[in-house]
Amino acid sequence: MIVKQLSAFIENKAGRLAELAETLAANDVDVSALSLADSADYGVARMIVSDPEKAAKVLRESGVICKITSVLAVAMEDTPGGFAKVLHLLKNQSHEIKYMYACISRHEGKALMIVSVENVDAAEALIAGTSAGNVHPGDIYRL
Amino acid sequence: MAMLNEREETLSREELERLQSERLVWQVKRTYERVECFRKRMDEAGLTPDDIHGIEDLHKLPFSYKKDLRDYYPYGLFAEPLKNIVRVHASSGTTGKRIVVGYTKNDLDLWADCFARMLTAIGATDEDVVQVSYGYGLFTGGLGAHDGATRIGATVIPMSSGNTPLQIQNMIDFGATILCCTPSYALYIGEEIERAGLKDQLKLKAGIFGAEPWTENMRREIEEKLGIKAYDIYGLSEILGPGVGCECEYQEGMHVWEDHFIPEIIDPDTCEVLPKGATGELVFTTITKEGFPAIRYRTRDICSLDYTPCKCGRTHVRMRKPTGRSDDMLIIRGVNVFPSQVEEVLLSIGGGEITPNYFITVDRVDNNDTFDLDVEMSEAFFADDVKSIAAVERTIAEKLRSALGLGVKVHLVNPKSIARSEGKAKRVLDKRKLS
């Protein structure tokens, strides 16, 4: 499933990430997945949130730079080899993974990964018919 | 101690003033005929060269400014055709464009004399080995010291700056007796020598240090670490380069070679000439230089002039070490930096996507200047990865390096996080303790 990911620029100052979390909380934005990429001087927080547009709006108002991009939510069997199987599928079609991180799953026995690839639509079409494509909004969001 | 040009260096005040008057009249006339910028200003002031009879009329002449060098870039202020110009030097201007000055053969000669007078004053002779660790190139430091040392017949080691281990190795192997470089570099070299325990192997006895502000504390530290006498020198490329003002063996101010330059001290706000001994902005008129004559050039350096006789017997006035600037220029690692240059570079990036809001922090850590710049990140350059941010940082740093000739550490910060203020924003924090 293609989902909207919210990325935010985090400058390297104490408390910036906490401020961001507080802004989201104050506006009733639910965070289902979060990953931080960082260098010595700054970081990028990537999030799957309940309302990306609203989250972007409130963060911008608080002076944070953000961007919404499309990424894939991929399901995998919660058994040994489940992860490898999905990677194998994408690799065979030359989809290079830019980054990935885990997402909570609201259903037992199902593991979810957020995967960023160059061509999201093609990758989505590739996994749509497989078990990896077996993701529904209710798996990620509190509906 | 010996003097290089004993007659010129000991002229009586009366003789000096007569010489200055003669040379000023000559300089004003030829500059009026040859340099459009000066002619225009004279015309606007309703003056002709005939109104200038001597130094008593100096105060009537219009000022010239660093900005002129940009407006008439590159050769518009030269008073000689290029065929008579044998060298150019350049330094940073107030904005992106560098400023260029030109020298005739005679100019290089008088420059070498000015520097050589100082070397002679501090006891250097043709027996000495002078290591020049100022940068060679467009910067006037390297070649200025080089030509001065050559003039007295000393052995020159043209090291240029950088590669400190090799600097120290050569200093020892070649038996350098005099070191010329920026004071912060001298201190750095001194520390490295101390660390390596090589002080005993040095033959150094003196050093000539300038091109950036330094303090009496630094002087003592350099003298202690290198086991030498440390002398101060003043200069700027618009007037000449190093050698405009030079300490003698008594180190009680820098003699301004008045047979070549007339210094004045003015109030930077009212532009009135201040009485002798007062502190204000230093203004120079070059009365012998041919290629790039400067008439009442505003240096923006704040200092005072001491006309009392010096123990060394030289009659030329002594300037005190400049205590500040009447503009916002910073000197970082010997390089002149104007905040407006930084602003211009930021505005040139990404079609106005980077805001010209910035904050400069300068500090001195382990005797090296640090230069940090906060810049507001722009949404247009932000993607979902760290690489894109690193790329923005690199672009800004590279553009600044090429514009300023100086490395800078760029820090991207949140938009609108740099304080705005009405009127003149505070954009610089200089944490260097210079007293």
HEC profile of A43-68: EEEEEEECCHHHHHHHHHHCCCCEEE
Model confidence at B421, pLDDT cuts 50, 70, 90, reads: low
What pLDDT is stored for residue B235 in this prediction? 95
B102 within a domain of the structure (yes/no)? yes
Q: What is the pLDDT of residue B402?
A: 87
How many domains does one find in chain B? 2
Q: Which residues contact B63 (CB under 8 A, 6 or more apart)?
A: B271, B283, B296, B297, B298
> Which chain A residues in 93-122 lie under 8 Å from chain B, judged by CB atoms?
98-99, 116
Whether pTM > 0.90 for this model: the answer is: no
Q: Both B178 and B123 in a single domain?
A: yes
What is the pLDDT, as a whole number, of residue B426?
76
The answer to whether A64 contacts B385, with C-beta atoms less than 8 Å apart, is no
**Is there a single domain that holds both residue B260 and residue B218?**
yes
pLDDT digits (tens, 9 = 90+) for B233-279: 999 999 999 999 999 999 999 999 999 999 999 999 999 999 999 99
- The predicted pLDDT at position B328 comes to 84
| Whether residues B304 and B343 fall in one domain | no
B336 in the same domain as B202: no
Pick A10 or B1 by higher pLDDT. A10
* Partner residues linked to B337 by β-bridges: B330
Lowest mean pLDDT among B110-119, B406-415, B421-430: B421-430
B276 with B401, same domain: the answer is no
For chain A, helix (H) and strand (E) counts, in that order, are 5, 6
Q: Give the mean model confidence (pLDDT) for residues B228-232.
A: 97
Within 8 A of B385 by CB-CB distance, chain A residues are 37, 44, 98-99
Q: Are residues B319 and B371 in the same domain?
A: no
Cβ distance B382 to A98 less than 8 Å, yes or no, reads no
CA atoms within 13 A of residue A39's CA, in its CB half-sphere: 14
As given in the structure block, the two tokens for residue B424 are: 């003149």
Which residues on neighbouring strands pair with residue A77, listed in sequence order?
Answer: A110
- Name the band, by pLDDT with cuts 50, 70 and 90, for residue B44: very high
The first and second tokens of residue B217, run together, are: 């504390």
In a domain, B426, yes or no: yes
8 A C-beta contact, residue B252 and residue B124: no
Both B396 and B307 in a single domain? Answer: no
Residue B203 domain flag: yes
The per-residue pLDDT for range B122-169, each reduced to its tens digit, is 999 999 999 999 999 999 999 999 999 999 999 999 999 989 999 999
> Given pLDDT bands bounded at 50, 70 and 90, which one contains residue B424?
low
pLDDT in tens, B191-219: 899 999 999 999 999 999 998 878 888 89
Please check whether residue B78 lies inside any domain of the structure: yes
Q: Are residues B200 and B306 in the same domain?
A: yes
Cα–Cα distance for residue pair B87/B89, rounded to 1 Å: 7
pLDDT on residue B96: 58
Integer Cα distance of A13 and A86 in angstroms: 37
Mean pLDDT of chain B: 92
Please tell me the predicted confidence (pLDDT) of residue B416: 79
Q: Any idea what the Cα angle at residue B115 is, between residues B140 and B86, rounded to 5°?
A: 50
Asked if B300 and B202 sit in the same domain, the reply is yes
In angstroms, what CA-CA distances link B232 with B136, B244, B302, B303?
A: 19, 11, 16, 14
Residue B340 lies in a domain: yes
Q: Are residues B161 and B257 in the same domain?
A: yes
For residue B62, cis peptide bond before it (omega within 30 degrees of 0) = no
Select from B93, B42, B58 the least CA-distant residue to B72: B93
Q: Which pLDDT does position B120 carry in this prediction?
A: 97
- Does the distance separating the beta carbons of A7 and B384 come in below 8 Å? yes
Q: Which domain holds residue B317?
A: 71-327
Of all residues in chain B, the one with the smallest CA distance to A43 is: B386
User: Do B172 and B321 lie in a common domain?
Assistant: yes
- For residue B351, the model assigns a pLDDT of 66
Buried b (16+ CB within 10 A) or exposed e, B271-287: eebbeeeeebbbbbbbb
Q: A with B: how many residue pairs have Cβ under 8 Å apart? A: 58
Q: Are B414 and A9 in contact (CB < 8 Å)?
A: yes
Q: Quick one: average pLDDT of B70-85?
A: 96
Give pLDDT, residue B378.
84
Residue of A nearest to B416 (CA): A63
Residue B40 tokens read as 């225009």
CB B214 within 8 A of CB B87: no
Measured between CB atoms, does A44 come within 8 Å of chain B?
A: yes
Report chain B residues whose CB lies below 8 A from the CB of A67: 379, 382-384
Residues 6+ apart with CB under 8 A from B15: none
Q: Determine what percent of chain B is predicted with pLDDT higher than 90.
A: 71
3-state secondary structure chain B: CCCCCHHHHCCCHHHHHHHHHHHHHHHHHHHHHHCHHHHHHHHHCCCCHHHCCCHHHHHHCCCECHHHHHHCCCCCCCCCCHHHCCEEEEEECCCCCEEEEEECHHHHHHHHHHHHHHHHHCCCCCCCEEEECCCCCCCHHHHHHHHHHHHCCCEEEECCCCCHHHHHHHHHHCCCCEEEECHHHHHHHHHHHHHHCCHHHCCCCEEEEECCCCCHHHHHHHHHHHCCEEEEEEEECCCCEEEEEEECCCCCCEEECCCCEEEEEECCCCCCECCCCCEEEEEEEECCCCCCCCCCEEEEEEEEEECCCCCCCCCCCEECCCCEECCCCEEECCEEECHHHHHHHHHCCHHHCCCCCEEEEEEEECCEEEEEEEEECCHHHCCCCHHHHHHHHHHHHHHHHHHHCCCCEEEEECCCCCCCCCCCCCCEEECCCCC
As a whole-number percent, the residues of chain B with pLDDT over 70 amount to: 96
Tell me the residue type at B163.
N
The residue count for chain A: 143
**In this structure, are B79 and B189 located in the same domain?**
yes
pLDDT at B50 over 80: yes
Provide φ and ψ at B397, rounded to 5°: -65, -40
Q: Quick one: pLDDT at residue A85?
A: 83
| Least CB–CB distance from A11: residue in B384, B412, B416 | B412
Residue A5: which of B377, B384, B389 has the nearest Cβ? B384
| Residue spans per domain, chain A | 2-68, 70-140
A contacts of B414 (beta carbons < 8 Å):
9, 11, 16, 63-65
The pLDDT of residue B320 is above 70: yes
SS3 A83: helix
ipTM of the complex: 0.79
Which residue ranges of chain A lie beneath pLDDT 70?
143
The two three-digit tokens of residue B76, written as one number: 């518009």
Determine whether the interchain pair B384/A42 forms a contact, defined as Cβ–Cβ distance below 8 Å.
Answer: no
How long, in residues, is chain B?
435
Q: Decide if B290 is inside a domain.
A: yes
> Nearest to residue B9, comparing CAs of B250, B257, B243, B288?
B257
**Where is the domain boundary, B327, B356, B390?**
B327
Q: Best interface-test mutation with A: which of B372, B384, B414, B418 has the largest number of A CBs within 10 A? A: B384
Closest CA to B406 of B359, B373, B365, B358: B373
pLDDT at B423 over 60: no
Structural domain contains residue B128: yes
CB atoms within 10 A of CB B166: 10
pLDDT tens digits for B173-187? 999 999 999 988 898
Closest residue, chain A, to B384 (C-alpha): A7
| B282 inside domain | yes
Q: B321-373: per-residue pLDDT in tens?
A: 998 888 888 888 888 888 888 888 888 886 667 777 889 999 988 878 899 99
Torsion angle of alpha carbons B317, B318, B324, B327, nearest 10°? 30
* Boundary residue ending a domain (B280, B306, B327): B327
Find out if CATH 3.30.70.260 is the number for domain A70-140. yes
Instruction: State which CATH number among 3.90.78.10, 3.40.50.150, 3.30.2130.10, 3.40.50.2300 fits the domain covering A2-68.
Output: 3.30.2130.10
